[in-house]
């Protein structure tokens, strides 16, 4: 079996083209801002070349946006006089990042097409482009989302599953968004890239029994029982900057970094999917791409709902 270090090189890139949703369309900006996708793509690539980690950060922004009242760009809003936003919610505080990159992309798009392209759509495109640039699959991004005029820290606290979640909690959280067990396991594969904070995996490396002992010990040296909360570790220690299926292989050997990661392979209903994606990377790519399209279609604001923000951080 090919090692994870080389699997990314031989993977087929899965391209998913689906029938456009009645309100979202891949061609939404073809006449109003024909260069929108190329502008976003160039800015994403520039940002990742500057800091590889930002690719995972942009992908995570889209996920955390969509899980809170739909894919509406609400995660980007700063607090104001009328609401407390999502940035300081428990799953996001001192954790989600990439806001400056989104600002840069938005300013470039605004220069080309003022008041046309939503922040929510920028997140959706950037998530796809980040995945592709780091070696993952491509998919057709449906566009036409509008931006929410509000945000909710309380909704973020209850809608985004924490890294301490067990399998049933994960299934419930994803099911509430219309996503299946297969969608959940496939989307969790995004943890093949990126980093996590000590505070997110401390409980796992000291308390869990289904963890490789050597792996746990290696992490304990940088993440003590108290302190060093912001110390980082790779979600996928094998190929942390390549989007591949090594995340699942790690789970088979008890090397999932987060408790919620290892829950996917812990003698229960999702084990077969972890094994499938370990042995068949092209199937993982196909299922991930399909799940991203599905997630990107969670209750978007369209038509006259919402707005097109000029500045992604604040309501017009």
Please tell me whether 230 is known to bind a ligand. no
Active-site residue, from 21, 62, 64, 242:
64
Please tell me whether 244 is known to bind a ligand. yes
Please tell me whether 261 is known to bind a ligand. no
Please tell me whether 72 is known to bind a ligand. yes
Please tell me whether 239 is known to bind a ligand. yes
Cα separation values, 109 from 32, 116, 120, 125, 233, Å: 12, 9, 13, 12, 34
User: What is the helix (H) or strand (E) element at residue 108, kind and residue range?
Assistant: helix 99-112
Please tell me whether 161 is known to bind a ligand. yes
Please tell me whether 13 is known to bind a ligand. no
User: Cα separation of 167 and 173, whole Å?
Assistant: 10
Please tell me whether 129 is known to bind a ligand. no
The first and second tokens of residue 138, run together, are: 């491509």
Q: Are 296 and 91 in contact (CB under 8 A)?
A: no
Please tell me whether 242 is known to bind a ligand. no
Q: Which of 91, 98, 86 shows the shortest CA–CA distance to 122?
A: 98
Please tell me whether 192 is known to bind a ligand. yes
Q: Are 23 and 145 in contact (CB under 8 A)?
A: no
The residue behind tokens 């401390």 is 202
Q: Is 64 a catalytic residue?
A: yes
Length of the chain: 316
User: Cα separation of 251 and 113, whole Å?
Assistant: 45
Please identify every residue annotated as catalytic: 64
Binding residues for heme b: 191
Residues of each annotated binding site for Ca(2+): 65, 68, 70, 72, 74, 86, 192, 236, 239, 244
The binding site comprises 65, 68, 70, 72, 74, 86, 161, 191-192, 236, 239, 244
Q: Which positions make up the binding site for substrate?
A: 161
């Amino acid at each position: 079996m090919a090692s994870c270090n080389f699997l990314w090189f031989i993977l087929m890139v899965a391209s998913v083209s689906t029938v456009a949703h009645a309100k979202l369309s891949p061609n939404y900006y073809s006449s109003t801002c024909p260069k929108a996708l190329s502008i976003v793509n160039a800015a994403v690539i520039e940002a990742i070349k500057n800091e590889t980690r930002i690719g995972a950060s942009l992908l995570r922004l889209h996920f955390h946006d969509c899980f809170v009242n739909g894919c509406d760009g609400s995660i980007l809003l700063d607090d104001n006089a009328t609401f407390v936003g999502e940035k300081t919610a428990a799953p996001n505080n001192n954790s989600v990042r990439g806001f400056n990159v989104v600002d840069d992309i938005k300013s470039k798009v605004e220069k080309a097409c003022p008041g046309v392209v939503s922040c929510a759509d920028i997140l959706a495109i950037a998530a796809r482009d980040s995945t592709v640039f780091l070696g993952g699959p491509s998919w057709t991004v449906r566009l036409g989302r509008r931006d929410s005029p509000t945000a909710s820290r309380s909704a973020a606290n209850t809608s985004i599953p924490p890294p301490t979640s067990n399998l049933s909690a994960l299934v419930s959280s994803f099911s509430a968004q219309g996503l299946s067990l297969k969608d959940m396991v496939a989307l969790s594969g995004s943890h093949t890239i990126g980093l996590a904070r000590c505070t997110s995996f401390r409980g796992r490396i000291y308390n869990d029994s289904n963890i490789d002992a050597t792996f746990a010990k290696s992490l304990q040296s940088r993440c003590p029982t108290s302190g060093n909360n912001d110390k980082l570790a790779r979600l996928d220690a094998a190929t942390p900057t390549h989007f591949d299926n090594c995340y699942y292989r790690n789970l088979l050997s008890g090397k999932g970094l987060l408790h919620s990661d290892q829950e996917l392979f812990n003698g229960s209903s999702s084990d077969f999917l972890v094994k499938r994606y370990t042995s068949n990377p092209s199937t993982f790519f196909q299922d991930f791409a399909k799940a991203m399209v599905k997630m990107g279609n969670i209750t978007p604001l369209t038509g006259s709902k919402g707005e097109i923000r000029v500045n992604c951080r604040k309501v017009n």
